[in-house]
Amino acid sequence: MMNINVTEFESSLSGKGCRIAIVLSRFNEMITESLLSGALSKLKALGVSPNDIVLARVPGAFEITGTCRQLIASKKYDAILTLGAVIRGETPHFDVVVNAVAGGVGELAAKSDIPVIFGVLTTDNVEQAMNRAGLKSGNKGADVAEAAIEMINLYKKIK
């Protein structure tokens, strides 16, 4: 094996001093409130002060991207978490919303100087969504909160 010295950017999970914005869809509220609870619990556990967290509630997942753009432009936050739940129905509306929000958040994440973390569930049914919001498969809200803190610290190391 070749011995090569490389610089490695190591991140941490310390949220002390991190300013977080959360954009939460109200649609499918039973699920999104559970995602929010998971995110807030994880942020607290990682040392983020409640005074450093803001919450923007939007009507549905489609409105997440525009709100994120406004939050990025404010330059007040170290990361943005997006939380929502889009559940497949009987019409193509699911595909339209999922593609718009995933593409929009992905583009913002790629172009922004801060992490924009995608935490919008896209499931075939309510049971799958509930499982990912804390019932069986962990809590995606907690997962994206942890990812945000890790990415904030990684971005800081890179800069």
pLDDT 10s digit of each residue in the chain, 159 long?
Answer: 567 777 777 788 899 999 999 999 999 999 999 999 999 999 999 999 999 999 999 999 999 999 999 999 999 999 999 999 999 988 888 889 999 999 999 999 999 999 999 999 999 999 999 999 987 878 999 999 999 999 999 999 998
User: What pLDDT shows up at residue 103?
Assistant: 97
Residue 57 within a domain:
yes
CA distance 25 to 17: 26
What is the number of structural domains in the chain? 1
Residue 6 within a domain:
no
Residue 42 within a domain:
yes
At 148, phi and psi to the nearest 5?
A: -60, -45
Catalytic pick from 17, 29, 66, 93?
A: 93
User: What pLDDT shows up at residue 7?
Assistant: 76
Q: Does 93 qualify as catalytic in the annotation?
A: yes
Residue 138 within a domain:
no
User: What pLDDT shows up at residue 110?
Assistant: 97
Strand order in the sheet with 20-25: 53-58, 20-25, 79-87, 116-123
Domain at 93, CATH number: 3.40.50.960
Residue 65 within a domain:
yes
The stretches of the chain forming alpha helices (DSSP H) are 29-45, 64-74, 93-111, 126-132, 140-158
- Encoded tokens for 58: 């939007």
- Encoded tokens for 19: 């300013």
Residue 86 within a domain:
yes
CA distance 137 to 100: 26
User: What pLDDT shows up at residue 84?
Assistant: 97
User: What pLDDT shows up at residue 136?
Assistant: 82
Query: In angstroms, how far apart are the furthest CA atoms of the chain?
Result: 57
Residue 72 within a domain:
yes
CA distance 116 to 77: 10
